[in-house]
Structure 1
Amino acid sequence: MRVMLKFCYLLGLFLLISCGNATKKESESTVSGTEGQSATEESSETDADSGVILFFGDSLTAGMGLEPDEAFPAVIQEIIDSLQLNYKVINAGLSGETTAAGKNRLSWLLTQQVDVFVLELGANDGLRGIPLTETRGNLQAIIEAVRKENAETEIILAGMQIPPNMGPEYTSEFRSIFPDLAEKNDLHLIPFLLKDVGGIAELNQEDGIHPTAEGQRILAQNVWQVLENVITENGD
């Protein structure tokens, strides 16, 4: 039964294709409005001596269907604050985002100080059957752009998996993109962002796709297992 739930969850993710374009249009208009303004306001409020952790992703990062303070980046901020670590979290997630769209909107985000860059993109590419060479190339371009702006920025890559609809070869190669890029570029890797959440009905919203607030807290723990070492090694 658990295996079936996981399959249904992954299969349900494919519905993002049908709603992605509509969500994308709404989200793109929001980038220059609410979401874009939020990221800008947060960065302007950041103390000059605070480190900045930028979460760059799609609807999973944005916390689609939830209040902003329920998305996993906000939960990460709670953890950081409880430990009195000197970091400010910025949520730059955008629902419906693909790697190509992410690459195109990256530059304005890199005008600010970024100490840790958490890259969570690729799922929408896989669900739409975008050629894997394009997805891999776009992610590589994002990584290179971040490092070109500041070679000292620590980059964390969030691994993702997709349903088997595209066939076993595509599915397997998609999954391997993330560890491959992490090894090639010496990145920190979250093996699978949705670990212990994907396929578990009670941890996902009615659409069966997006995590509930409780599910987002588990995502935050998956991220924190990697992020904690990154920021503590930096001495903060």
Structure 2
Amino acid sequence: MELNRQTRWLMRVAMAMVLSFCAACAYSASKTVLVLGDSLSAEYGLARGSGWVALLGQKLETEKRDVNLVNASVSGETTSGGRTRLPALLDQHKPDIVVIELGGNDGLRGLPVQAAESNLKAMITAAQAAKAKVLLVGMQIPPNYGREYTQKFSGMYQVLARSERVALVPFLLKGVAEQSRLFQPDRIHPVAEAQPVILDNVWPELKVLLGLK
């Protein structure tokens, strides 16, 4: 009887150690984050390594997070272009998380909101089909495009986040758009000083998707 008790106890201890080890392995497993964006994520007009995506990479490295960060952002990219490029990127990198930061160029060109929304939805669907979580990054455009258009444009991100059940950064340039000094002479692209603020807008939602405390 005593031997049976000891055997059972040893088995429980061994099982607990195995489970603990497996949990640690799962937590420390490398994850890949794919950022699909436009010039706001592609360091347009900035020194290399000073954009918010690069700062994210530095943050993850400093905190010793095992995350592979892929920045597939292209200046001038539209939702149509992102939709075209995404399948190959998913096949190549097999990301765990896809950050979609697109739509700004559609808005600045006055392209139909319905088309941009359709493209974003297709990208979300493709990422989810590839077993990736999605972080949708919202954008707003200047009021000179008309109240109806600007409201529909900014609202499509909330609509998509609810309908597709994905995480959302409501406005990438929160805390930046209100300050003209934080923009380059073109008044479209933020300067290096603004990049930490942009990262602060993205990090809380991305952190949750990464399962970090």
**Interval of TM-score (by shorter of Structure 1 and Structure 2):** 0.7 to 0.9
**Alignment of 1:137 onto 2:118:** yes
State the Cα RMSD in Å. Answer: 1.4
1:56 to 36, 48, 52: 36
Alignment match, 1:79: 59
Alignment match, 2:17: none
SS of the aligned residue for 1:96 comes to: coil
1:164 to 124, 143, 146: 143
In structure 2, C-alpha distance between the alignment counterparts of 1:187 and 1:105, rounded to whole Å: 20
Alignment match, 1:185: 164
Instruction: Give the stretch that moved more between structures: 58-67 or 199-208.
Output: 199-208
In structure 2, C-alpha distance between the alignment counterparts of 1:166 and 1:222, rounded to whole Å: 25
In structure 2, C-alpha distance between the alignment counterparts of 1:64 and 1:173, rounded to whole Å: 27
Matched residues, number:
184
Displacement of 1:180 after TM fit? 0.6
In structure 2, C-alpha distance between the alignment counterparts of 1:88 and 1:67, rounded to whole Å: 22
Letter in 1 for 2:96: D
Letter in 1 for 2:140: Q
Contact 2:32–2:67 under 8 Å retained in 1: yes
- Structure of higher CA gyration radius: 2
Alignment match, 1:10: none
1:107-126 alignment runs, 5 A limit: 107-111=87-91, 112-126=93-107
Spell out structure 1 runs of 4+ moving beyond 6 A: none
Letter in 2 for 1:66: L
**Alignment of 1:66 onto 2:46:** yes
Displacement of 1:160 after TM fit? 0.6
Q: Which has the higher contact order (CA 8 A, sep 6+)?
A: 1
SS of the aligned residue for 2:41 comes to: helix
Letter in 1 for 2:149: Y
In structure 2, C-alpha distance between the alignment counterparts of 1:83 and 1:69, rounded to whole Å: 18
In structure 1, C-alpha distance between the alignment counterparts of 2:97 and 2:193, rounded to whole Å: 25
Letter in 2 for 1:164: P
| Unaligned stretches of 5+ residues in structure 2 | 1-28
Letter in 1 for 2:67: Y
Alignment match, 2:72: 92
Contact 1:62–1:68 under 8 Å retained in 2: no
Letter in 2 for 1:109: L
TM-score, normalization: structure 2? 0.82
Letter in 1 for 2:71: N
Contact 1:103–1:141 under 8 Å retained in 2: yes
Alignment match, 2:10: none
Displacement of 1:206 after TM fit? 2.2
SS of the aligned residue for 1:195 comes to: coil
1:34-75 deviation line (CA, Å, top 9, x unaligned): xxxxxxxxxxxxxxx521111101000101011231111111
Letter in 1 for 2:158: P
TM-score, normalization: structure 1? 0.75
Contact 1:179–1:191 under 8 Å retained in 2: yes
In structure 1, C-alpha distance between the alignment counterparts of 2:181 and 2:141, rounded to whole Å: 20
In structure 1, C-alpha distance between the alignment counterparts of 2:113 and 2:186, rounded to whole Å: 27
Contact 2:127–2:133 under 8 Å retained in 1: no
In structure 2, C-alpha distance between the alignment counterparts of 1:219 and 1:205, rounded to whole Å: 15
In structure 2, C-alpha distance between the alignment counterparts of 1:185 and 1:68, rounded to whole Å: 34
Identity over the aligned pairs, expressed in percent? Answer: 40
1:191-234 deviation line (CA, Å, top 9, x unaligned): 1000011141222222222111111111111111211122125x
Contact 2:40–2:75 under 8 Å retained in 1: yes
In structure 1, C-alpha distance between the alignment counterparts of 2:110 and 2:184, rounded to whole Å: 25
